[in-house]
Structure 1
Amino acid sequence: MSTVEVSGLTTFTIAILVFFTGSGLNGAIPLLRRFNIPEAVTGGLVAATATLIAYEAFDIEVRFALEARDMLLLYFFTGIGLNAKLSDLVAGGKPLAILLVLAAAYLLIQNAIAAGGVALLGLPQGLTVFLGSAALIGGHGTTIAWAPLVADRTGVTNGLEVGIAVATLGLVAASLAGGPIASFLIRRNALAGPAETEAPVIGLSTPSKATLAAEGVKDDISHVSLLRTLVVLNAAILIGLGIEESVQALGLKLPTFVVCLLVAILITNTVPRLFPRLAWPTRTRALALISDLSLNVFLAMSLMSMQLWAIGGLGLALALVLAAQTLAAVLYILLVVFPAMGRNYDAAVISAGFTGISLGATPTAIANMTAVTKLHGPAPRAFIILPLVSAFFIDLINAAVIGAIAG
């Protein structure tokens, strides 16, 4: 067995090419677009398959330098924190609180199913989080972020590969289930969307230029706006790194990205109030650009570096556990989520999106809801509260649960 060590700059460059490979495949294969598989996931899996062939057929192990990946992870999650406004949380009101409780409750159910599957199939106990909320509710990003810490605590070395496989299959399951669930609920309960002709605002989109101008924010993309955004991101990350040392001294172990996320939330809801004339990057295109770039290269770099041969022999076990997780999610949505959210049209749209929370990711949830609203009419409240739960609150709860399970 020979080993090929790939340098940091070469790894970064290959990751960009891997992303474009995935983008090209998604453009050429309608099925990938229909399932809303991210370009970085498509390209990363192709690259990982190539390294698997090199390993199995030619006895060559390819090892990528991943230092840049960790920094990209910090940029992405810190960007999420900078976009979290308390005013949005207040606007969500009671439905937001109900949906958060439902998501948190299902997170526990999901991990219980994973623990049962691990016990019945005789799998290593350290795989529980990767067959549960780390991979399904957390998705690729959370799986990749937690894999080193879980491996260190439990001794499981193939958790990343198992988690990535589960997260990818979960995206497909979520994409397949969301639309049919909403259609069934709408048809069975004779529901209909509002009569407005204007298309709804999808997700938490960037505010209009008029709104940003009224708030004193210039939403341009230039070297100045990008550098201004990077300064704020770096400041939040540096503060987070400093706080992390103090947290560890108290015996608390949290991933660095969680600490940076919390710091970003704190400063984005305080600094602009203290210094109202200060240009701040919240909801700007510059921050969106940096966040998107960081996430896509991070995912591509992580997926292409997977050692698929480490999964060996777990294919049937993964299929069985994922089937149980999918069935549980569908039943929970039909019997709990829809009634609790009010049994109305908004509840049906949220039910479609909840598949993204429970099995896929926020983009999957938004894609499912968009497909429903294009056919049946807008549901603006659903597009406010679900992303807040899926992309922010549940990640914090998930981090606490994963940490507890991993010991």
Structure 2
Amino acid sequence: MTTFQTSGLLTFTIAIVVFFVGTGLNTSVGLLRQWNIPEAVTGGLLAALFTLSSYHLFNVEIAFDLDARDMLLLYFFTGIGLNARLRDLRAGGRPLAILLALTLSYLIIQNLVAVGSSVLLGLPDGIAALLGSVSLIGGHGTTIAWAPLIAGRFGLGNALEIGIASATLGLVVASLVGGPVARILIKRYHLSGQAAEPPSIGLANVPATEQDTDINHVSLLRTVLILNVAVLIGFAVDEVVAEASIKLPLFVTCLLVAIVMTNTIPRFFPGMYWPTRSRPLALISDLSLNIFLAMSLMSMRLWTLGGLGPALVLVLGVQTVVAVFYIIFVVFPAMGRDYQAAVLSAGFSGISLGATPTAIANMTAVTKLHGPAPTAFIILPLVSAFFIDVANAVVIGFMAR
């Protein structure tokens, strides 16, 4: 097996090409656009299939340098924080509590499905945790962190491979499910966003001449400067938090720092430029998210799914069906049956099966077509990237005893 390692710049360039391939396919295939499949998902999955073919047909493994991806993630979540005005946070209080309760409930349901499926299929002890919230709600990071413990506890030598395969397949499914679910709900209940509301992520799908009057090199550089300052402060705060033995993802720290900044600095310096709900910030957030997602999907090692048998696919299929039913019949009604509930339903597929960026990408694809839903972009990251990690760690610890 020959390994071809790409540099950071080449990886970034390929990701842009992958995004444009996805854009071209979505433009040509109306069904992809109608079902709100993000362009980066379309292109990223196609690129992942290409690397899979290269692996099997030519014995060449393509390895991508993903350092730039981490910075894009920080830009993206910092942008969400800069858009979080206090009135949105106050409005999101009750929906945040409801979404948190729904997610915690689903965490238990997901693990029960994993345990039940494993028992019915006669799978070895320990696999249930890896096919539940460790890999699906937790994602790749949680899987990598917990797999050694599960392997040692149950004598499961391939625990990491099983967990990574489950997380990878879950990411693919989450990318494809969220948009169609939201489309069904929006069409059935005749929902739409508020057209007058400024975009929080991404610009609407209208001709450029109708939307770019306030986007120029000065506004973009001002926005990048503020983003960079917020990220730098986020790094500093993260070190302080780490010394206090509190574990938070760096992007959550940057998100919280940006929320504080956007609700204090404009009050003390009202004449200062601030990018909240501006088109430059929406553009940068959209760019960061799309390239991050393209990198994540095109770098998936799909060949790790092979050799694990049909049991993995069967369990993930059951998990997907349960997630979709839960979203349509529990999440959407509980969140109010309105447009924001439909957008959150698209995002919940990312919480339940994939990852927070996937959830945001699904919601962005929906809002670009049907209108903004700013509160949804505030409460979902707080639930999926902060509160749920703590609860998931408790549940995983119980299952891995």
2:169 aligns with 165
1:234 aligns with 228
CA separation in 1, counterparts of 2:144 and 2:290? 20
Q: Is the 8 A contact 2:79 2:281 kept in 1?
A: yes
AA aligned to 2:303 is W
Do structure 1's residue 304 and structure 2's residue 313 form an aligned pair? no
AA aligned to 2:172 is T
1:397 aligns with 387
**Most deviating of 295-304 and 385-394:** 385-394
2:53 aligns with 53
Do structure 1's residue 277 and structure 2's residue 271 form an aligned pair? yes
2:345 to 342, 355, 359: 355
Listed as ranges, the gaps of 5+ residues in structure 1 are 135-142, 187-191, 194-198, 208-217, 375-379
TM-score (norm 1): 0.75
| CA shift for structure 1 position 252 | 2.5
Partner SS state of residue 177, structure 2 = helix
CA separation in 1, counterparts of 2:74 and 2:62? 25
Structure-2 change in CA distance of 1:350 and 1:10 (3 Å): closer
Partner SS state of residue 5, structure 2 = strand
AA aligned to 1:306 is M
Q: Is the 8 A contact 1:4 1:63 kept in 2?
A: yes
Q: Is the 8 A contact 1:8 1:68 kept in 2?
A: yes
After superposition, the C-alpha distances for 1:11-52 in whole angstroms (9 at most, x for unaligned) are: 111111111111111222233223322111111111111111
Structure-2 change in CA distance of 1:101 and 1:227 (3 Å): same
| CA shift for structure 1 position 352 | 4.0
Q: Is the 8 A contact 1:130 1:162 kept in 2?
A: no
2:255 aligns with 261
Structure-2 change in CA distance of 1:5 and 1:336 (3 Å): closer
Q: Is the 8 A contact 2:41 2:175 kept in 1?
A: no
Partner SS state of residue 11, structure 1 = helix
Partner SS state of residue 337, structure 2 = helix
AA aligned to 1:205 is P
| CA shift for structure 1 position 174 | 3.7
CA separation in 1, counterparts of 2:128 and 2:97? 36
2:198 to 198, 205, 216: 205
Q: Is the 8 A contact 1:204 1:387 kept in 2?
A: no
1:63 aligns with 63
| CA shift for structure 1 position 104 | 4.5
1:12 aligns with 12
After superposition, the C-alpha distances for 1:330-376 in whole angstroms (9 at most, x for unaligned) are: 554566456655xxxx52656644532432435545767999xx8xx
Partner SS state of residue 359, structure 1 = helix
1:243 aligns with 237
Superposed, 1:2-401 pairs within 5 Å as 2-92=2-92, 94=94, 97-114=97-114, 116-117=116-117, 121-122=123-124, 123=127, 125-129=129-133, 131-134=135-138, 143=139, 149=145, 156-157=160-161, 159-180=163-184, 200-201=193-194, 205-206=198-199, 220-314=214-308, 316-329=310-323, 331-332=325-326, 336-337=330-331, 340=334, 347=337, 349=339, 352-360=342-350, 361-362=359-360, 364=362, 383=373, 385-401=375-391
Q: Is the 8 A contact 1:173 1:359 kept in 2?
A: yes
CA separation in 1, counterparts of 2:220 and 2:364? 27
Percent identity (aligned)? 46
TM-score (norm 2): 0.76
Partner SS state of residue 253, structure 1 = coil
| CA shift for structure 1 position 272 | 1.6
CA RMSD across the alignment:
3.7
Q: Is the 8 A contact 1:82 1:268 kept in 2?
A: yes
AA aligned to 2:12 is F
AA aligned to 2:171 is A
Q: Is the 8 A contact 1:114 1:132 kept in 2?
A: no
